[in-house]
Amino acid sequence: MSAGLAADLILVVHALIVVFVVLAVPVTWLGKAFGWAFVRSRRFRIGHLLVIAFVTATAWLGEYCPLTVWENTLRAQAGQQGYGESFIGYWLSRLLYVDLSLEVLAVVYTLFLGLVLANFRWVPMRSGGRDHP
């Protein structure tokens, strides 16, 4: 597999992770309203929490997401240009014409992490040890 193709695959995976992190909150609210059992699943909720906690911690440490670094490395190996900033910062600046520093993203991630934590109170996980209906 070429480095460019591998970088493109990482980009797709990265985008899917971002979609999961962002959409899991409103999906949880909708799931509560419509009685969707999976939104109370421990795997779903803890998985979501761990991903956003990792992203937040990485940003506060002043580091870019490892997927961004890996993709940029592969793009350089393929003779392509990588991002000059974080994955989210790059795409937000491309899509919304906003240029956000890693420090600002760390604050945004922290606020979003707070929302995810509050979600545990608003939409509690299923009690008991089982993770399926």
pTM (whole model) above 0.85: no
Dump pLDDT digits (tens) for 111-121.
999 999 999 99
The answer for residues whose C-beta is within 8 angstroms of residue 23's C-beta and 6 or more apart is: none
Q: Burial, 59: exposed, middle or buried (Cβ in 10 Å; 0-12, 13-18, 19+)?
A: buried
**Cα-to-chain-centroid distance, residue 44:** 13
Residues 68 and 87 sit within 8 Å (Cβ to Cβ): yes
Torsion, Cα 105 22 58 126, to 10 degrees, reads 140
The residue-averaged pLDDT of 80-98 equals 62
Dump pLDDT digits (tens) for 36-69.
999 999 999 999 999 999 999 999 999 988 988 8
